[in-house]
Structures are given as C-alpha cells and as structure tokens.
A and B are shown apart, each in its own frame.
Chain A
Amino acid sequence: MQMQPSRFPDNLPAISLNKVALTLSSAAGPVNILHDISLTVSAGETVALTGPSGSGKSSLLMVAAGLERPSGGRVTVAGTDITGMGEDAAARFRRGRVGIVFQSFHLIPTMTALENVAVPLELMGVKNAWDRAALELKAVGLGERGEHYPGQLSGGEQQRVALARAMAPRPQILFADEPTGNLDSANGEAIADLLFALNAERNATLFLVTHEESLARRCARVVRLESGHIVADERVRPMIPA
C-alpha cells in the first residue's frame, strides 16, 4: 500500500483560507478565536504568523493543517478543500503532504528517535521507511542517536527529531508552531537554521507561527494576527520562486 501524494499544480496556492472563523465552546460560553480570516500562501513561500499570546496564531495553524475544523469559511490546502473533511480523511490527507513541528516536540515517548521518524513513512506505506528515517536523522545531525528514547535526549535534540519526522515524507507544506519556543537561544538558533535550510533544500512551503520577531524576519512574508484578526500582511523579502 504505497501512497505517494501527487504534487499539486504550481499555479495553485499552497494554502488558501477564505473567510475562516473558529469558535470554541468553553464552560464560560463560546469563545471566538478567529474572525473572517482570508489568507493565501503560494507554493514555496515562507510565511511567518506573528502576534501576541492568545491572538489565535496556533489555532490558525491548526485549522490550516487540518487538525481543527473551522466554524465557518473555507480551507484549501495543496489544491484540496479540507474544510468539511472528517478526522480520518484529514489524517490521510496529511500523509506526505503536510509536516508539522510543535513547540512541545510531541514525540512518542515509548519509541526510539529512529522509530519516531519512521512512523509517518510507515503510515504512507514507504518500503524503505527505516533507511529513509535514518537518513533524515543524519540530516538533522542525530545519525548516532537513533536508538535513544525521547527521554534520553535534550530539548534541542528532541526538536531535531521532530523536525526530521516532519520532513521525512518530503511534505509540500511544513507547519511549525513556535519551534524554538521551548529551547534556549543557541539551540533555538540552530533549530531555526536547520528548519530554513531543509525547507530551502526541499523547496517546501513554510508556515511558521512565532512570536520572535527575528525568526519571523527570516521568512519572505510576515502576517500579524491580533484578537483573531489579520492586522498586517507584509512582504519583507522577495519571494523565491518555487
């Protein structure tokens, strides 16, 4: 059951959000997180989403990655409308198309580093998943740590494993949610370098959530969110063609 996602036509945007709204229920009543968000990210573009805490950055990333279903509007990712997708369909859709890196790494603690990286490849049915996972680990500088469990790795190393896991299936789009947020400045810097280097090498679209201005400035475009509204959308450097 080998499943390789087909590449979407270059003229289509990688991510297209059209009047997206998100309202979550809570004990104190419904909370409106996102209001009428419309945003288009072209293929190969690097976009930073910034804003203060609670502005809805991570929620927007979740919606765009198909991890959260919007309350309103339309979400198209890699040419596919994922707005009404059920959970399983969304999971299948993500395979090979979308990679995600989290602030808290989110590795499976009972699996070794190598096994963690291999999981998405195995779910895609890639035959030489483990060999490819080993190469990805090597690419993030952890070729020798494959047999270690997450608990035996430092925070920076865990995030490298998470990055290798996200990049292993060669996704078209890489979502990163505060990837350096839990790391010290040196480790954070190293992860950021790795993230941008791999992204450039693989020519993927990068959708980065961060509240660090310096990290955001490394992207071609910076979108600012406040109280669930886009308040600024600025191109800071020319877009490298896909």
Chain B
Amino acid sequence: MTEIALAWKMARRELRGGLKGFRIFFLCLLLGTAAIAAVESLSDAFLNGLRDSGQVLLGGDVAVNLVHRPATPQERAFFGRYGKVAETTSMRAMAYALRDGRETERELVELKSVDDHWPLFGRPIFSPAASVADAIHCEDDGICGAAAEQTLLDRLHVKRGDLVKVGDATFRIIAALDKEPDRISAGFSLGPHLLISSHGLPATGLVQPGSLIDYSYRIAFRPGVTIAGFKADAARAFPDAGWQIHDRNDAAPGIRRFVEQVSMFLTLVGLTVLGVGGVGASEAVAAFLDRKRYDIAILKSLGADGPLVFLIFFLQVMAIAVGALILGASLGATAPFLLAHFYGSVLPLPPELGIYPGPLLLAAGFGLLSAIAFSVPPLGRAREIPSASLLRETVAPARARPRMGYIVAASLSGLGIAGLMLGLAPSPLYAGEFLGGAIILLVLLRLVAEGLTRALRKLPRPRSPLARLAVGDLTRPGAATQGVITALGLGLTLLATVILIDRTMGQEVDDSLPSRAPSFFFVDIQPDEVQAFDHTIQSFKTAEDYKRTPMIRGRITSLNGVPSAQAKVASEVKWALSGDRGITYASTPPKGTVITNGKWWPATYDGPTLISLDQEVAKGTGLKIGDPMTLNVLGREIDGRIANLRKVDFSTGGQNFVLVLSPGLIDKAPHSFLATVKISGPDENRMYMAVTDKFPNISTVRVKDAIAQVDTLLQQLAQGIRIASLVTILAGLLVLAGTIAAGARTRLYDATVLKVVGATRFQIALVYVLEYGLLGLATGIIALFAGTLAARVIAGQILEAPFVFDARAILWTVLGGGAATLLFGLLGAIAALNARPANRLRNA
C-alpha cells in the first residue's frame, strides 16, 4: 500500500507537466471511447424510443394480425372484452388519377383502410390540418375522402379535391398524409400509402376470396389487462386461429433487430478505432518512456525497484486514460441530443433523449481495458531499463521482452474486450468473426511491418544519401514504420473491405438482380380474369418467362406431428414457420424445378396431399421424405406428406415457393393467381399501361421500382458505414501524427546536420517524400490485399453474392490512404524543414 502511495506521489509530480507526450495517447482513447459511447447511446435511445412509443407505433397495446381473412364475429367479441378495438386493413392496389372521368396516371399504392376508432394512440398529421374523420369521410354521393402521401400526389399529379380511382371506387383527395402514427410497424411498403375509411373499402371490389389483404386488430387495453394475460387467454380460446400477435413492448421487431445489428456493427467499428488507437497509445507510451530513460535510470540508481518504476508510470498512464475515458464517454453521451437536434425532423423513429449510463460504462470499460492491454507491454519493458543507462547511451535502446506477468495482464485485458463484446452482441458469431479477423489482421500487419523493416535493413545501402537517410528513418529503433503500418493499415483495410462489399452489394442490386429478376409481379389475379390476362400478356411478342401460378396463403401448423410453436428448428429457417407463407399447387414440376431428393407426383395424381418442400427448410426443420406436415389454409387444416425436396434460389427475385402441393384438395380453396414476366424496352411501359388499363384490381409491381427502393436503403446504410470506417482512418492518422511527433527531435537533428553539410530544404523534403511514400505504399498494398480477402470472404460466406472486385474504387481508396500518409508525414516534417540550423545547434 505504501508502495502504491509512494508511486502515486511520484506519478502526480510527473503529471504536473500536463499532457505533454501523452496527447496522442489521450486523443486515441478519447476517439475510440467517444465512438463506442455515441453508437451505444444512440442505440439505447432508439430502442427506448421504440419501447416508450410502443403503443403509438403499434397502434395499440397489442395488434392481432390476420392474413387473407377478417376476424370472425366470435374473435371480434373476444378482442372487445379486453378493451377498445380498432380495425385496419392493408393491401397493395393500383390507384389511378381521374381526369374528366378518364383514368390517366397510375401508381401502385399501399391501400390502408381504417375504422372509426383508428387511431387508438397518437394522431396522424394531415396537411392541411384535418381530423381523421374529416379526411376520410364518405359523402352521400358515395365518394369517400382519402389522404395520400405526398409522393403519391406528386406521381399522380393530383392535388387536394382531385379524384382518384382504386378498383371500382372513386375517392376524393382531402389532404396529404404527412405522418401516420403506426406506419413504422407496417414495415416495408412497395408503394406510397393511401388512407381511406373502412366504409369506402367494399366499393373498390378488391376484397375477394384469396386476395392478399392484411387485417389488423389493435386493442387499447382496459385497466387491469396485461399483455401476458391477453396472450394466454388468446392461446386458450383460439389455439388454431393463426393470429400473429405483436405487443407494445416490441412494436417493430424488424426495426429493433435492425437497430441492434447496425449498432453491433458500429460498436465493432468503434472497437477497431480503439484497436488502431491502442497501437498509437502503445507507441506513444513507448516513446514517452524512451524519453524517460534517464529519469528511470536515475530512479533506479536511487533505489527504486522494477515494480515501483512500473507502478509510477502505470499510474500516470491510467490517470491520463481515465481522463480520456470520462471526456470520451461524455462526448458520446451527447450523440442522441445532437442527432435529434440536427436530424430530428427526418428520423423515422424518435430517439428517447437522455443520458444512458449503461452504454457510457460499456464504452469506458472497453477504453480502460484497451488502455491496459496496449500500455502494459511498453511499461513492462521500461522497468527493465538498467541504471547503467546513465553512463552510456546506445543507438538502439535495449528493448527487452516484458516479464510474463505483464504479458499475461495485457492478454487478459484483450480477452476481456473480446469477452465483453461477444457477451453483449446480438450475433456473437458475426462479432466473433469480426474480432477474430481484426486480431489476425493486426498480427499480420505487425509481421509485415517487421518484415519490411528487416528487408530494408538487409537491402544494400542506397548510394544516394537522401535515400539512405529515408531508409535509415524507416529502420531505426523507434521508427514510425511499425506503428503506422499497423494502425493505418487496420483502418485502411476496414475501409477497403467496406467499399468492396458496398460495390458487391451494389452490383447485386443494380445489375445482377435486375438481369435475373422478372420485370413485373402481378398480384391478385382473380380466377375469372385468367384467360383475358394471359391473352394480354402473350400479345406482347417480346415478353419472356411468363409464369402464372395459383397462390394461396397458409401457414405450417405442425411438423411430424409436433405443433410448429414447439418444434425445434434452426434459427435460419424460423421465418418459414412464422405466419403465413405463399403456397402453390402444381400437377407437374414448375419450369426450372431442381428436385434434390424424392420424386414428383404423377401428373394425374389425385390422392392425399403431397408436398414438395424447399431443401433448406427441410434441413433446418429436420423433415425427411414421407414425414407428415399440417398446413392451415384459410382456417382449414390440410394434412400432407413430404414427397420431394427442391432447391429454391431466392436470389432470382422471381416466384419462389417454399411449399408446392399436389392438386386435389388445395385447388378447391378460394385463391388468386400470381404472375411474373420479363420484358424490356418500350414494351415494358406498354405492358404496364395495358395491364393497368384492363385490370384495375390487379396490383402491378414494377420490380425495378422495388429494387430502386432497396438500393436507396442500401446506399444510406453504406454511407453510414463508410463514415464510421473513416473514423478508424482518423485514428490511424492520429497514430501517424503521434509517431511523427515522437520522431520530431531526431528528424530536426538530421535535417540540421544535412543543412550544415549543404543540403537544401527541397532535398530534405525529398527524404520525407521517400520515407512516407514508402510507408503509404506499403500500407496501401497491405490494405488492398487484406481488404480484398476480407470482402471476398464476407461476400462468399455471409452475403452469398458473387464477389465484385472494383479495381478503380479500391485503387482510389488505397491511393487516398497512401496520399494521406504522405501528406500527413510532410506536414509533420515542415517544422524540421523550416528550423534554422543555428537554433538546433545552439540547443544541442
């Protein structure tokens, strides 16, 4: 204890000098901690926002969703017992602008009808301001009001008071729909929203058996009703109703998962910043201790032992680290406030403003552990400095390996970081792969830097004195080579990886997908329209791959006799069991079917239902040929057996069914048809007009519009990730600045001596260009290879997309990184270039 008190006393004495020598250490830790604190605070703010606004975002305390069918009177009565109920429906439909009684512009919309109780929570915002009742009120002439998102008004070129037609009904636009309180829980929409009253829906004629309509019943609970109680009662009273029940605590699970995943990735990027910064911190501590060699030797000659020396400097480093952590966490804590202040109006989800101690402690914990992991090794080496250093100074200061205890302490801290991250990550596997990759890369970069230094030392000495000096600068003890290549290499590799993955996904969405995917999806084709529809499509000679398939929606209720809810299934196929899926039937294998196991039923088969199942779903659920399966289609149970397994390629963007049934029973259920077709050139638009003119009830989805929407989302996400990666580059540049600062004294000295013997500033600058050019080049080349490798692995293993090597993008990235290194190096060397020799010689 007295030892610690003594060490602290001496450390405090040293700290009186301020941050001198520790600026880079401080900044590196600050940046990493602030980044993690900001990301985690934002994540918590959004997740809390989701939770706290759960009722508004969901539209009730619970929402019971049904596909295809409205609730039965018994079901409605059941809902009503728990509180006030609001009913909404939503479906895809075509909306037409009506001018002089003629249908002109048209657009796919998400048609949402609401009853008189909607919304139970929150308020929609219309412009001009209006109540819900006024905005969608039905007049005596049968024309109902509607509110449309501004995008729809713009695309249809209609304004307030104009008429639009949906199905067989005409609506008058009363207002623009600026904000829908429960919009976010509806998820991804293919078209802009059009809000109408449920009184106006029947007149559209779009509500047909088998139509793809989502019914939602939101309930505002009476006092005393609990979510768990409601769910338990529902499971008891209607065990087979096929309800999907969402509650206010998880109003938008998709958004929640998205926020969690993105924040996990960004936290990993933040950890990379800490890793890069840690390299800088380690270099900074080493440089600081090198300057303190004499002090340490004096302390030792006066009787301080190794542990005391370690403690004195460890306490100093930790005191500075704690300062950086507190400041970093404080800066990170402001992120939700800043985001709300600057982007509040455009955020789809309001962050719950506040200070979140959890994320701040987490960030500080990561920061502290990395400060220990990176500073203990150089501190451990410093305690080995002999007091004999007072007597002689060697060119290469002895850099002994620290004792085992210090190596263990540093390694434990490193493991602590990994453990903390893996324990908290929503996807520990990905987090583990990221961390593993980063560690391998860090080791690789260190080895490359070491190899480069050795190779340069081994090379014949350049004849030119300037080249010789540059090589000497790169290979001398304490040279920038190791730190800069490791730190900047890590940041630049991350950026290169992100850019290549961005390009790979971009290629997939922009080029590959459109070339494979059909041009149109036609949804809700009614049986009586089939002939006319086929004729219309086939009249286009350029149409290709026309496929029309019956489509029924149903869900899997039991597998091998085990109810779906209790079946053990792999997480990657859980989606197949949650809620309704599209089901089709066929007597012969649809074109392009690849059967991997079992046999297709005979074309004339009319026996008990046989099932053709996606092989991946079979693998994830453990189902085999001959196993029984029960489906619920429109409330009716259908038992079947698995006859064969198929390979389904979802990346084609076309019609893909997990379940194909043998005809005989299923085809008697009311159903509609789904069609896809490929067509290009001017005929694409002609087909759009022809189909939408003749079949106003059929929803026509232009695939390229949907892809463009996805593309926009991806672009925004990629932009965010690129910015995050740039923070790592910033950390790398800080490390570079640190090594430049650490080498400034030597550099100044060399420049002075060169000037004395007749070198001009231009010639000395050439030394730096050579030196930093070589560093930038080495770092860039490593980033090029490592980034390409990482992106290739991610594309192949995680995205399962063909890897795209965009040479131009990557070269620009790498050249940019190299140029930044060079520029920074030269900026840092300006002082040495401009110093008057006399000043330096006088102070020598």
- The chain A residues found within 8 Å of chain B, CB to CB, are 58-59, 62, 67-69, 87-88, 91-92, 94-96, 100, 102, 104, 106-112, 115, 118-120, 122-124, 130, 149-152, 165
Contacts and interface: CB of A to CB of B under 8 A. Distances in A.
Is chain B's binding surface mostly helix, strand, loop or mixed? Answer: helix
B798 interface: no
A119 to B, nearest CB: 5
Contacts of A150: 395
Given A87-B761, A111-B469, A119 B841 contact: no
B468 A123 contact: no
Most B CB within 10 A of own CB, among A88, A106, A150: A106
A91 B760 contact: yes
Contact of B756 (A58, A100, A109, A149): A100
Contact of B755 (A69, A91, A152, A165): A91
Contact of A109 (B395, B754, B757): B395
B476 interface: yes
B838 A68 contact: yes
Interface string B742-764: 00001001101111111111110
Contacts of B837: 62, 67-68, 87
A202 B749 CA distance: 29
B758 A106 contact: no
Contacts of B750: 108, 110
Contacts, number: 98
Most A CB within 10 A of own CB, among B756, B837, B844: B756
B101 to A, nearest CB: 86
Closest 10 CB pairs of A and B: A110-B472, A151-B395, A95-B758, A68-B838, A88-B760, A120-B757, A62-B838, A122-B465, A67-B838, A119-B465
Contacts of A112: 461
Question: Which of the four size classes fits the interface of chain B?
Answer: 35 or more
A67 B758 contact: no
Interface string B275-295: 000000000000000000000
Interface string B809-844: 000000000000000000000000000111001101
A102 B842 CA distance: 11
Contact of A149 (B395, B475, B752): B395
Nearest to B761: A88
B394 A151 contact: yes
Contacts of A107: 753
Nearest to B475: A110
A123 B758 contact: yes
B844 A104 contact: yes
Contacts of A109: 395, 476, 746
Interface in B449-494: 461, 463-465, 468-469, 472-473, 475-476
Contacts of A94: 756-758
B7 to A, nearest CB: 33
A111 B472 contact: yes
Contacts of A100: 756-757
A115 B395 contact: no
Given A94-B758, A108-B753, A120-B758, A87 B836 contact: yes
B753 A106 contact: yes
Interface in B696-755: 746, 749-750, 752-755
Contacts of A92: 758, 760
Contact of B758 (A91, A104, A130, A151): A91
